[in-house]
Structure 1
Amino acid sequence: MRRGAIYGSLPVPLELNIPFTRVRRTVYFGLVGLTTLGGTLMMTAIVSAQGLTLLECVILALFVPTFACIVVPFWTSVIGFVLRVSGRDPVTLDVTGSLKRPLPRGQVRPRAIPKTALVIPVHNEQPELVMARIEAMIQSLRKVTLETDSVHVHLLSDTRIHSIAVAEVERWMELQSRYPDFPIHYRRRDLNEGRKAGNVSEFCERCGYDYDLMVVLDADSLMTGEIILHLMDLMEANPDVGLIQTLPLPALQRSLFGRLVQFAGALYGPVLAFGQAFWFGDTANYWGHNAIVRLRPFRDHAKLPVLSGRPPMGGQVLSHDFVEAAFLRRAGWRVIFVPDAAGSWEEVPGNIGAYSRRDRRWAQGSLQHLRLLKGERLHPLSKVHFLLGAMTYISSLLWLLILVAGTAYVLMPSSHGVTVAPPLLIKAPLFSLLIFTGSLLFLPKIFGLIACLSNDRDAFGGALRIVVSVVTETVFSVLLAPVMMLSHARFVVEIMLGQSVGWAAQDREGSDLTWREALRTARWPLAVGLLWGGTTLLLSPLFFLWMSPIFLGLILSVPLVRWTSLQSFGLRSQAAGLLLVPTETAPSDEIIFVRAAKDALSVEHDSTETEANGHYVRCAYTTTPRKSYHV
């Protein structure tokens, strides 16, 4: 352990004491259970008014798990909202800020700096942008620490395209020449065993003995030097903590879809995250990036199993992060979520097509987690994380089935030989249930809006712009929800039928989709919308109006996919003051630096770069790196 010094507005180490853990979870799951029971009783009264038919039993059986899936985030957001507006830390329940007592700017204090590796696994990424993010973090760290040789950067490449690999070395050597006093290492594997998790695991086995801590980053991750040192402080002050996860907020989005996701994450995300941290306690989850881990226990206890059988449900675990957190907790190490630590960002796919491709991989990994529910000595809450992660996708299939069953219930002749009238006309209890369900779905948005208006309105463009942006985001989320529901339902069916997914580079930057690409992306939602909606309109125009939000999103899916992918639409919304977030109104130095790199690369692509077979290409030359290793 080396001695060093830091200066600036940095937090003093504080023990993470988590009081009333059992009480928190008892209250939370009690509220979830009682609310689910109430909704189930309401639905039972509706469908059994004249006796239960087989179809009504199916509807009721589908309703219970789907309703529970909206109750869980509702009560999470209620608790998060209370904590946000009351100024309480969700982990310790102290007054917010007690974890972040700042030092006056420029004041220097000695502290022990543990040897820490900043690990960035990459796979066929754009080297310029990867290096720009690394450089932004190096500059940020140099502002807050006087000793940088205790923090090493490790770029772990699994790149398979030769031209990109050569460009990685080129950009790495340029970066190293600009920061000769900052240790920056580069390694590329010949065999990509275990994908990203295997990449990080190989580093832990090869180099992990040289470090105390490891900050895990994605290729699109960005963190400030302050938050990195804050995490190091917390790990030092809490030797029984094995992993601390931050809340990475979406940033640097340009397309309309990306800015919608970015706005929703910035406005609603903190409320939900505060609630999660409250009931997670010492058994939080891990999202695979923007987190710090204690290397020795991670290396010793977080090795992934190879599931028996063939993919998609067997073989390598695709979603490694949940499993690694569960294994750390099983070994007795606390896993903490700190959502109030500002300065942690990520980027998201810029169009629905790229977003869905990422979700397809996540869906397969989440369903694999169901096979681990019987794992020995796993903490019960770790199993809850597995189950909720899988239900994120399974619930879409259940919602689709309940909507189809509900349509059949209304349109098919009853046992008396007549068609059941639309429930809007004859069943007041259903009206109450719909209002109840709608409240569970939309109140979390209201909580985020109120919390923002109370604390951060200027950072989001002012009260009026925030309200208009919330309405805009809500309209798009309602229209896109059936498209995503159908996509997730299809993913689950494909996995059940044995269709696995490959490992392709993520489309992190996104691109404007052509009409043909939009049609290819949304062909199934469009076909289902036309068939389902057309049949309903023919048999019951009134019920078609009742279901119009679902049908409208499906029928308009192609233009929605096309228009939301356009960067011009996103930039126009920004120019109009809509969907603004703090990284746009008051960007940090790190955000400004990476944004400039993205702008420069965009100009360079317009003038000199080409696309070949869908991959990024640069002029290649061979070189022998000075501080690299190859395995």
Structure 2
Amino acid sequence: MFEILQVNGITLLQSIVLILFVVTFGWITIAFWTAIAGFLLLLSRRHPATLTRFSARSTPANLGDQRTVLVMPIHNEDPWRVADGLACTCRSLLDQPSAQGFDVFVISDTRDEVIARQEAQAIAILQRRFAPRLAVHYRRRESNQGRKAGNLADFCRAWGYRYDYMIVLDADSIMGGKTVISLAASMQANPRVGLIQTVPIPIRSESVFGRFIQFAAALHSPLLAAGQAFWQGDTVNFWGHNAIIRTQAFMASCGLPTLSGRPPLGGEILSHDFVEAALLRRAGWEVHLDVTLEESYEEVPSNILDFAKRDRRWVQGNLQHLRLLGARGLHKVSRLHFLFGALAYLTSFLWALMLAISTVDAIGRAQGEHDFFRQGYQLFPDWPIAVPDLILPLIGSTATLLLMPKILGLILAFIQRPERFGGRGNLLLSALLELVIAILIAPVMMVFHSLFILSVLSGREVSWDAQVREGRSIPWRSAIRHTWAATLLGAIWAYATYTWATLFFWWLSPVWLGLLLAAPLVKLTSSLTHGQRLRRAGLLLAPSEVA
């Protein structure tokens, strides 16, 4: 990039672009090398931590006298949907011959009295269904101080002493019984381990957007998770759910600090899971990521707007982590988790800033007059120099870094498990469709994330609302109301570059096209009807639907 810019002299704007490019290019390089490592490990079927070959894992016949609790914090959720998912986990657990020593706790922070009554009814049904083999408990707090982290802390203070381990589930989590048993057995076999995180795969969504997320996660998450487990070693991250925790270690180590100052960057820590993993590691406990366990599932928002709403909360929480980078005693990899969590959203803002400055620079160069005699008196003029031999390789390398994780995930699935995606033909077509959707959605999410960051920096705090998990089709009016600014930005961007910097207009086309189509994208990808048509056509299938 520097060689390209310095040929005709680097301006102030281009210097800023260069700095932004270095940061954003470095960011996608991390994902690239993580994917490379994960690909090589999974292709050779080697364990990320030990580099030994995977072996078939048998379910332990006897876990001894251990006590494990499956604890599910909920807050204003659909009680019947929660109970349905929890029932799947309980049934699968009871199908295992070694399912002794397990309890279930549903711990509610629900404020809506109608929902709370339905919760009690739904859990009472589960209690009758699974008694006496599995005890299912329900507790509702009078005050939801501390949100989810406070809910878990209250549970630990009241009942934590009863259990060796706790498996934390989200309201949308489903886990297979073999996975639950294997997690407990792994904790028994590794007394230095404080937490084991699984790789949850999204399920149960029928919209186009939900199917897009499910397919992409099933294809690429195992690859990236294996790469992360390789380079992060015994200091991986905690994603807040679908993980087992050594209860006494958690109670002794994971009291969360309250950040000085007012929200959104002060006060209670929203993204508490990252911090809890860092505190466990600081106390000497290992934190592992087990990529060999299947049957670990979650749900995701079924449309772009609800997905972005969830990201708004994560943006605030992850930016708070920047204040903890200098905290005493943290492992260096834990500090990287804090930094990378913030960069996951900050890079969207940096990309937007880089593109905006590049646009101003491109228009200025296209409309301005070239200075042929920049050095005053000189014998020969400085002719403008085009460097396609440098520009094209840069574009190619950037595209390679962005697309390689997707390509490697596709190759791995093509070789090892094509039938889990409906066969090789459907897998290839689905991967192409996923790529098209991802390219179109990327600039829309870039705008959303940039606005969220500005909102946090301006002092606006996010509210704590239940996540919308049920599929819903977004009306046109709502789609337009939430995306008109992105559409207007795309139109202005396209007009300005086409009018004053035509060549840059074409280079920028993936950005302005996605922004112009923001409202149709939100509307059409939220469609349950189109999602069901894709399923019938065998496209964007999730392995859980094919197995």
Same fold (TM over 0.5): yes
Match of 1:136 among 80, 84, 88: 88
Q: Per the alignment, do residues 414 and 536 of structure 1 end up closer, same or farther by CA in structure 2, a change over 3 Å counting?
A: closer
Per-residue CA deviation, residues 239-272 of structure 1 (Å, 9 max, x unaligned), is 0000000000011110000000000000111111
From 306, 313, 319, the counterpart of 1:354: 306
On the 8 A contact 2:7/2:385 being kept in 1, the answer is no
Structure 2 counterparts to residues 60-99 of structure 1, below 5 A: 60-97=18-55
Deviation of the 1:424 alpha carbon: 12
1:503-526 superposed Cα distances (whole Å, 9 cap, x missing partner): 011111231000011112212211
The aligned residue for residue 260 of structure 1 is: 212
Q: 1:196 aligns with which of 118, 143, 148?
A: 148
Residue-by-residue CA offset, 1:445-497 (whole Å, 9 max, x unaligned): 11001100111001111111111111000001000000011111111111111
Whole-angstrom distance in 2 between the partners of 1:502 and 1:321: 18
Partner of 1:620: none
Q: 346, 361, 379: which one pairs with 2:331?
A: 379
- Determine whether 1:322 maps to 2:274: yes
What amino acid sits opposite 2:120 in the alignment? Answer: V
Q: Could you tell me whether the CA contact under 8 Å between 1:396 and 1:489 is conserved in 2?
A: yes
* CA-CA distance at 1:138 after TM superposition: 1.3
Aligned CA distance change for structure 1 residues 416 and 583 (closer, same or farther; 3 Å):
closer
Deviations along 1:346-400, one digit per CA (max 9) or x if unpaired, are 0000000000000000000000000000100100000000000000111001000
1:102 maps to what in 2? Answer: 58
Deviations 1:120-169 (A, max 9, x none): 00000011111111111111111103554x21100000001110000001
Selected match of 2:507 from 522, 539, 546: 546
Give the aligned partner of residue 275 of structure 1.
Answer: 227
Q: Distance in 2 between matches of 1:456 and 1:368?
A: 40
Question: 2:63, 2:185 within 8 Å by CA — same for their partners in 1?
Answer: no
CA gap of 1:369–1:538, structure 2 versus 1, over 3 A, is same
Distance 1:367 1:256 in 2: 30
- SS of the counterpart of 2:64? strand
Q: 1:75-224 counterparts in 2 under 5 A?
A: 75-97=33-55, 100-102=56-58, 109-148=61-100, 150-181=101-132, 182-224=134-176
Q: Which moved more, 1:411-420 or 1:464-473?
A: 411-420
SS at match of 2:433: helix
Quote the offset at 1:222 in angstroms.
0.3
Q: How many pairs were matched up?
A: 535
Q: Which residue of 1 aligns with 2:288?
A: 336
Match of 2:4 in 1: 46
| Distance across 2 between alignment mates of 1:117 and 1:419 | 73
Deviation at 1:101, TM superposition (A): 3.2
Distance 1:464 1:72, change over 3 A: same
- Following superposition, the deviation at residue 536 of structure 1 comes to 1.3
Amino acid at match of 1:101: R
**Contact 1:83-1:274 within 8 A present in 2 as well:** yes
How far has the Cα of 1:343 moved from its partner?
0.7
Show the counterpart of 1:628. none
CA gap of 1:93–1:511, structure 2 versus 1, over 3 A, is same
Q: Is the 8 A contact 1:410 1:419 kept in 2?
A: no
For the pair 1:483 / 2:439, whether they are aligned, the reply is no
- Which of 436, 460, 468 is matched with 2:397 structurally? 436
CA RMSD of aligned residues (A): 1.7
Amino acid at match of 2:15: C
Q: Structure 1 residues 206, 54: CA separation in 2 closer, same or farther (over 3 Å shift)?
A: same
Distance across 2 between alignment mates of 1:419 and 1:282? 57
- Return the alpha-carbon distance in structure 2 between the equivalents of residues 284 and 112 of structure 1: 28
- Residue 468 of structure 2 is aligned to residue 507 of structure 1: yes
Once the two structures are TM-superposed, the CA of residue 418 in structure 1 deviates from its matched residue by: 4.6
- Name which of 397, 403, 416 aligns with 2:349: 397
The separation in 2 between residues aligned to 1:179 and 1:77, in whole angstroms, is 42
SS in 2 for 1:513: coil
Structure 2 CA distance for aligned equivalents of residues 82 and 130 of structure 1: 38
Instruction: Confirm or deny: 8 A CA contact 2:183 2:196 kept in the other structure.
Output: yes
Gaps of 5+ in 2: 373-383
Task: Give the SS at the match of 1:299.
Answer: helix
Partner of 1:388: 340
Partner Cα distance (1:537, 1:113) in 2: 71
Q: For residues 480 and 289 of structure 2, what CA distance do their matches in structure 1 show? A: 40
Rounded to whole Å, the distance in 2 between the matches of 1:363 and 1:195 is 17
Alignment correspondent of 1:34: none
Amino acid aligned to 2:459: G
Question: Does the CA contact (< 8 Å) of 1:46 and 1:427 recur in 2?
Answer: no
Q: Contact 1:424 / 1:431 at 8 angstroms: preserved in 2?
A: no
String of CA shifts for 1:563-592, please: whole Å, max 9, x gaps.
000011111001001011210111xxxxxx
The aligned counterpart of 1:533 is: 494
Deviation at 1:50, TM superposition (A): 2.5
Give 1:451's aligned residue. 412
8 A contact 1:412–1:419 mirrored in 2: no
Rounded to whole Å, the distance in 2 between the matches of 1:560 and 1:414 is 33
SS in 1 for 2:39: helix
- For the Cα contact (< 8 Å) 2:349–2:450, is it kept in 1? yes
> Letter of the aligned partner of 1:188 in structure 2?
R
Q: 1:321 to 1:347 in 2, by over 3 A?
A: same
Q: 1:233 to 1:206 in 2, by over 3 A?
A: same
1:340 offset after TM fit, Å?
Answer: 1.9
SS of the residue 2:284 aligns to: coil
Runs of 4 or more above 6 Å deviation: none
Secondary structure in 2 matching 1:307 = coil
The correspondence for 1:493, drawn from 445, 454, 460, is 454
Which secondary structure state, in structure 2, belongs to the residue aligned with residue 111 of structure 1? Answer: coil
Q: Is contact 2:179-2:294 (8 Å) kept? A: yes
- Which range is displaced more, 411-420 or 301-310? 411-420
Could you tell me how far apart the structure 2 residues matched to 1:323 and 1:47 are? Answer: 41
1:572 aligned to which of 527, 533, 540: 533
Task: Give TM-score, length-normalised by structure 2.
Answer: 0.95
Distance 2:226 2:99 in 1: 33
Aligned partners of 1:452 and 1:171: how far apart in 2?
39
Partners of 2:168 and 2:244 within 8 A in 1:
yes
Aligned 8 A contact 1:91 1:338 in 2: no
CA distance in 1, matches of 2:371, 2:304: 38
Describe the shift of the 1:442–1:572 C-alpha distance in structure 2 as closer, same or farther (beyond 3 A).
Answer: same
> Structure 1 stretches of 5 or more lacking a match?
1-42, 587-631
On the 8 A contact 2:234/2:288 being kept in 1, the answer is yes
Q: In structure 2, what residue type is equivalent to 1:578?
A: L
